[in-house]
Structure 1
Amino acid sequence: MRRWFCQLIVASMVCLPMASAALAQGAKQHSSRPAKPHRLLIHVDQNDPAVMNLALNNATNVIEYYRAKGQDVDVDIVAYGPGLHMLRADTSPVQDRIKQLKGMAFPSKVQFSACGNTKENMEKKEGHSVAVLSDATIVPSGVVQLMEKQEEGWSYVRP
């Protein structure tokens, strides 16, 4: 019995360091995996400069938060209905802030999605072409953009 006990102690002394090393290596590999990407979807459907500025503040704060942590974040600000004025070249009260946010975001990505349906309806009503800011991307439908990105796991905020 004494011999068996000594063998058990010797086996433990040999195996324990190997098991500890394997666990440490596994933890190290796990911590180096890339984190789930940060993706924020912001909805603007009002022609209200306060709402537009709040959306831009939200985007700026999120980008700065993750930048301080050494992480990137993708942000998509989707404007439709009366909110499309945020991205119209002739009526946007926040176009300077949009340009500023677009410039400071790198390496994070910021997209400004302008609803194509709303743009088309505004053009019919006004009788002329409506230009969007050069920093905006026209998407077929703002509502569909919001829906599909949420289905892809994007976090959603409506200021």
Structure 2
Amino acid sequence: MRKTMLACLCAMVLGAAAFASAPANAADGVHHLALQISDNDPQKMNTVLNVAANVARHYGDLGEEVEIQVVAFNLGLHMLRADTSPVQERLKGFAQSMPNVTFDACSNTLRGMTKAEGKEPPLVSNAVKVPSGAVTLIELDEAGWTILRP
């Protein structure tokens, strides 16, 4: 009897430890989505924005929260450049109507573009610089976010 109780107690402790080590977002009731853009392709950029809008609308209609991060690096950084973005007007709309969608600009890519162009390219106002787009995606994945590359 004592061994059975001890085994049950151990199972409960191990179960609690496993739950405590689960990603924080698994228990907070908020859905988390990261969208990757790494191509200078207006169609792909629009697809990323369509996915973000559709996911935000879906969970909003259900009364559930969602956080969406668009991570732009490599040639996809053009999406967030104020001088070359083919989706700049849509980005302004997101800034006004979807505060749960954020836009990350890779500083590594920005440094490379600065070196090639002789000056730092301007970013749209709702872009936030991150040290590395790839590292940002890795860290979001490790935190339990769903990563998509539409």
Q: TM-score range by the shorter chain?
A: 0.7 to 0.9
Matched AA of 2:149: R
Is 1:38 aligned with 2:28? no
Is 1:50 aligned with 2:50? no
Partner of 1:140: 131
Partner of 2:85: 92
Per-residue deviation, 1:126? 0.7
Is 1:116 aligned with 2:107? yes
Give the distance between the partners of 1:154 and 1:102, measured in 2 at CA: 22
Q: Are 2:81 and 2:121, in contact at CA under 8 Å, matched by a contact in 1?
A: yes
Equivalent of 2:142 in 151, 154, 158: 151
Secondary structure at the aligned position of 2:84 is classed as coil
Deviations 1:136-155 (A, max 9, x none): 00000000000000100001
Give the distance between the partners of 1:80 and 1:38, measured in 2 at CA: 23
- Segments of 5+ residues of structure 1 without an aligned counterpart are 1-33
Q: Normalising by structure 1, report the TM-score.
A: 0.75
Give the distance between the partners of 1:91 and 1:35, measured in 2 at CA: 38
Equivalent of 2:121 in 130, 140, 148: 130
Give the distance between the partners of 1:68 and 1:85, measured in 2 at CA: 31
Give the distance between the partners of 1:102 and 1:38, measured in 2 at CA: 20
Give the distance between the partners of 2:55 and 2:97, measured in 1 at CA: 12
CA RMSD for the aligned pairs? Answer: 1.1
Give the distance between the partners of 2:39 and 2:138, measured in 1 at CA: 18
Identity %: 45
Larger Rg: 1
Aligned pair count? 124
Q: Normalising by structure 2, report the TM-score.
A: 0.80
Segments of 4+ moved more than 2 angstroms? none
Secondary structure at the aligned position of 1:134 is classed as coil
Per-residue deviation, 1:36? 2.8
Per-residue deviation, 1:158? 0.2
Matched AA of 1:105: M
Per-residue deviation, 1:35? 5.7
Matched AA of 1:125: A
